[in-house]
Structure 1
Amino acid sequence: MTTTPAAGTADSRPADLLIVDADIVTMASDRAVVSGGAIAVVDGRIAAIGPAATLRAAYPGSPELDAAGCLVVPGLVNAHQHTTADPLVRSSIPDDVPARQAIFDWIVPLHGAVTGEDDELSATLTAVESLSYGVTTLLEPGTVAHPLRVAHGLRAAGIRARVGGWGWDTPEAPYAMPAADTLAAQADTVAALAGDPLVTGWITLVGHDLVSDDLFTGAAELADRLDVPMTWHLSPGPEDPAAYAAAGRARPVRHLHDLGVLGPRLLLGHAVWLDDAELAALAETGTAVASCPGAYLRLGQGFSRAGRHTELYRAGGRLALGCDSHNAGDTPDLWRAARLFAGLERDRGIPDPLRADEIFALATIDGAAAVGLAALTGSVEVGKAADLVVLDTRTVPWTPRGDLPTQLVWGAAGHTVRDVLVDGRMVVRDRRITTVDVDALREEATHRRVALLRRAGIDIPHRWPTVPATEYCARRTVPDGALPPL
């Protein structure tokens, strides 16, 4: 597995970093785990994998990261993670309201009130949190107002990402634009991010029943012309099939198939409520799906009743995992998404549910393949980007080690992330973000939350009263001599 210059040759030079004495979960095609290995990182890429002594001889004088007793895994791929508005008011939408009410009473006003500064900050906040969980690739499936500010915020944190501005053209919908204007805005975003080594653009329509046929087909043609992928939302709950039927259309996925816009360039967010023909169309066309189980549970969208993502995977379909938004999935923790997916699919009693090793692949190499990034990331292989996560397996959650994929999916692996590299750059070191002043980020986010809610005209309901300590103490003080004996 090593590709190194011979020790002592004139070509020998230090690597940017040697990660030494780790057990390496490669997620390569043979799923090999390299015991007691080392990784050489040169110019942001994995230059070699092998014994530490061999790599030290090939790259003399290289700085080293001691990973003794640790596990190195590929950086995780979050295929559906919104980064705007919600992060600044996270966990604020009540969990006892219907999904449609959450959107129109909360999300729409918030997006109407955000500034470019809000969007940039919330994107940085999301990226920092994602990196702390070992997520090195984040796909933003659509931001309403300021995609380039979002890209700047993601880039500042050092995460790999794709970004686009949402588009839809149903006249009565908030923030809608004519199809031609929407496509022009999409093309401008892609062009503005062209050549960026980390944060690139893609075509992001909101989807659902808010997009005309002309915009669907125009977006697919634009993506082909620009040679970029695209993502749309579809059928997270039963509302989309019902809306398409009311409009005289075929079911959503079948309608897209009839338009000729399905295919390997397209990632559909959700696609939970599918019939047999829709599932077959996705598998046959190579259209990928991003499954966000935490969001479906939070919003009560029926994933445990209607979800068919395992069936899609078993039929040869392309599947990835996502976390959605901070008021749906509530956290960009892909480890939790993987565990929820595993548990829900087993609990539904479906035949042949996905195993832990298959689900960890969805979070890494299969997820990367679903979003068109398998040649770059998702596995620890020579030539790929050094998107790497060091898990501290000397901790109690790893004591003793069991079957690795089972422990990665069902255990507490996300709590043991120690170091994270993206494109060879150390963005988390010893559990601390290196790219952003987290204290300053926290302070600004708290300030912007208050201002954003005020502009949006939203009052957050609090189910538990907040009482100053002095008042609480005065109410609860027990008179002298009134304490019961122990």
Structure 2
Amino acid sequence: MSGADPARPDLLVVGGDVVTMNPRREVLLGGAVAVAGERILAVGATSRLRARWPGTTELDATDCVVTPGLVNAHLHQTGDPLARARIPDDLPPGASVDTWAVPLHAAHLPADDELSALLAGVESLRNGVTTIVEAGTVAHPHRVAAAMTEVGIRGTIGAWGWDVPGAPFAAPAAEVLDRLADLVAAYPAGGRVEGWVTLVGHGLASDELLAGAADLARVSGAPMTMHLSPSGADPDDYLRRTGRRPALHLADLGVLGPHLLLAHAVWLDDAEVEALLDSRTALAYCPWAYLRLGQGVTRAGRHAEILRRGGRLALGTDAGNAADSADLLRAAALAVGLAKDMAIDPTGPGAVEALELATIGGAEAVGMADRIGSLEPGKYADLVVHDATGPQWTPRGDIAQQLVWSSDGRSVRDVLVGGRIVIREHVCVSVDERVLRADAARASGALLARAGVPLRSRWPTVPAH
């Protein structure tokens, strides 16, 4: 081919070991990624790309590992970030919702939703997460979308969605569906922030709302997400109300399908597993939340089986008072560690499968594998530079094992989303973190006072003199 290149990169990320997650799962030692606008233009040897485009601005990734941006398939951006480490971790089942979550959300001002989302976005990016799926507990979605845009993260936006009479924040099914349709139209597919058909779930939706939401998802092309069976309470409730277990009831209503991402699905029986696999329904697995909340994943969880049988599985970190961290690499390690231990079989899923769940597998489960999840030409330039000079990386061994078993989000040095540098040398460049911390401290105190939640500490705190 003669003549000038049809496109020229704006940036070369050079000198790192590039974990492409392409179909061949190639790792390019001393590789480079060429970024043009929002997209990846080329991936290859540093020497070759430098020679092809001399003089291009470079980001030096020497002694680093470069991966695709991580995908968090279930994250609560509001409700918890301004109340971090406030909800006690020794509450009986249901108390954290009734005594804490509902009052906190009821007390949220629009500015609180936006500030919470800023916090969630910065924490996510600093842990290498470039795409998040909002869990739906948002009262002011446009303020949350504004925060996501400001911080520069890719993701989806949902809103409160339920219609059970007497429940806080409830509305008639038609009103909920209209609100969801407006949100999907306001944030169409392909944008940095996409509107999804989002229900809270947990038995809080009528059959009319469930079926209507699935119809909206199919007609609009926007994916749908909701919570289901993180504990044994959901199956018990559905059995009392419908005579069917949750996943089977959804199947009867025509809700299951490749458009649907179910969060949790810990308590499933054999028939429910088959229904999810047959319908190609995707799951967002948040293992840390189940352990912290004592929801029984080690007794009932079947996520490893679903993955082994070709099911669609992604990872999530849930809420700031559930899993307590946006570090998806920790969640990835726990997911495969639990799989090995629950089966008493060390030959089960390992670091390679964990990294797939966090990147290309997660991207496929949330319906975005054509755009993100791997470092390939034409995809969005969502990538993470991990500093591999620390003792946890010394000496260098298998990259997948060191990313999953040895490392965590603290190794994340630089992050690009859509070609834009949003984390540089461990610091967010899109948001002033010092101002954010001060704003969050002030807003948190005011929020907790308005909510009237029962603040307590198990250790006495006394001023030092």
TM-score, normalized by length of structure 2? Answer: 0.97
User: Could you say which residue in structure 2 is the equivalent of 1:226?
Assistant: 220
In the TM superposition, residue 196 of structure 1 has moved relative to its aligned partner by 6.7
Looking at structure 2, the residues matched to 403 and 146 of structure 1 have their Cα atoms a distance apart, in angstroms, of: 44
Which moved further from structure 2: 114-123 or 393-402?
Answer: 393-402
Deviation at 1:396, TM superposition (A): 1.4
What is the rounded CA distance, in whole Å, between the counterparts of 1:213 and 1:121 in structure 2? 34
Asked whether the 8 Å contact 2:337–2:350 carries over to 1, the reply is no
- State how many pairs are aligned: 464
Asked if 1:376 corresponds to 2:385, the answer is no
* Separation in structure 2 between the aligned mates of residue 84 and residue 132 of structure 1, nearest angstrom: 18
What is residue 304 of structure 1 aligned with on the other side? Answer: 298
Q: Name 1:397's counterpart in structure 2.
A: 392
Aligned mate of 2:166, from 167, 172, 188: 172
1:357 has 2:352 as partner: yes
Q: What is aligned with 1:109?
A: 103
* Contact 1:290–1:321, Cα closer than 8 Å, also in 2: yes
3-state SS in 2 of match to 1:469: coil
- Equivalent residue of 1:30, what SS? coil
Match among 308, 313, 318 for residue 324 of structure 1: 318
Alignment pair present for 1:238 and 2:232? yes
Q: What is residue 36 of structure 1 aligned with on the other side? A: 30
Q: Aligned with 2:54: secondary structure? A: coil
Partner of 1:70: 64
- Aligned: 1:134 with 2:128: yes
Please say if 1:414 is aligned against 2:391: no
Q: CA deviation at 1:141?
A: 1.6
Q: Which residue of 2 aligns with 1:249?
A: 243
TM-superposed deviation, 1:350: 5.1
2:149 corresponding residue in structure 1: 155
Counterparts of 1:453 and 1:29, CA distance in 2: 48
**Structure 2: runs of 5 or more not aligned:** none
Superposed CA offset, 1:365-389 (max 9, x none): 0000000000000111111111000
Alpha-carbon deviation of 1:413? 3.5
Q: Is the 8 A contact 2:380 2:418 kept in 1?
A: yes
Residue 331 (structure 1) shift: 1.2
Are 1:24 and 2:35 an aligned pair?
Answer: no
Amino acid at match of 2:333: R
**Matching residue within 189, 193, 197 for 2:187:** 193
Aligned twin of 1:47: 41
Moved more, 444-453 or 14-23: 14-23
What RMSD over aligned residues (CA atoms) do the two structures have, in Å? 1.4
Aligned-partner residue type, residue 21 of structure 1: G
Aligned pairs for 1:447-486 (under 5 A) are 447-470=442-465
1:84 aligned to which of 71, 78, 83: 78
Max radius of gyration: which structure?
1
Q: Secondary structure at the match of 2:34?
A: strand
Partner-residue secondary structure (3-state), 1:79:
strand
| Structure 2 counterpart SS, 1:84 | coil
| Contact preservation (8 Å) 2:15, 2:61 | yes
- Cα distance in 2 for partners of 1:97, 1:340 equals 23
Preserved CA contact (<8 Å) 2:154 2:417: yes
Find the residue that maps to 2:40 and give its secondary structure: strand
Letter of the 1:259 counterpart: L
Question: Aligned pair 1:347/2:341, yes or no?
Answer: yes
- Structure 1 Cα separation of the partners of residues 463 and 315 of structure 2: 42
Q: 1:261 aligns with which of 255, 260, 266?
A: 255
Query: Equivalent residue for 2:441?
Result: 446
CA offset digits 1:399-457 (Å, max 9, x no partner): 01122211111112422111100000000111111100000000000000000011101
Separation (CA, whole Å) in 2 of partners of 1:344 and 1:310: 9
3-state SS of paired residue (2:42): strand
For residue 99 of structure 1, report the CA deviation from its aligned partner: 3.4
C-alpha contact 2:162 2:170 (8 A) present in aligned 1: yes
Segments of 5+ residues of structure 1 without an aligned counterpart are: 471-486
Contact map agreement 2:352 2:401 (CA 8 A) in 1: yes
Q: Please give the per-residue CA displacement for 1:100-155, whole angstroms capped at 9, x wherever unaligned.
A: 11001000000000011000000010000000000000110202311111111111
| CA deviation map 1:258-306 (0-9, x unaligned) | 1111010000000000000000111111000000011101111001110
1:119 aligns with 2:102: no
Q: How far did 1:12 drift? A: 6.5
Closer, same or farther in 2 for the Cα pair 1:11/1:339, shift >3 Å?
closer
For 1:182, which of 168, 176, 196 is the aligned residue? 176
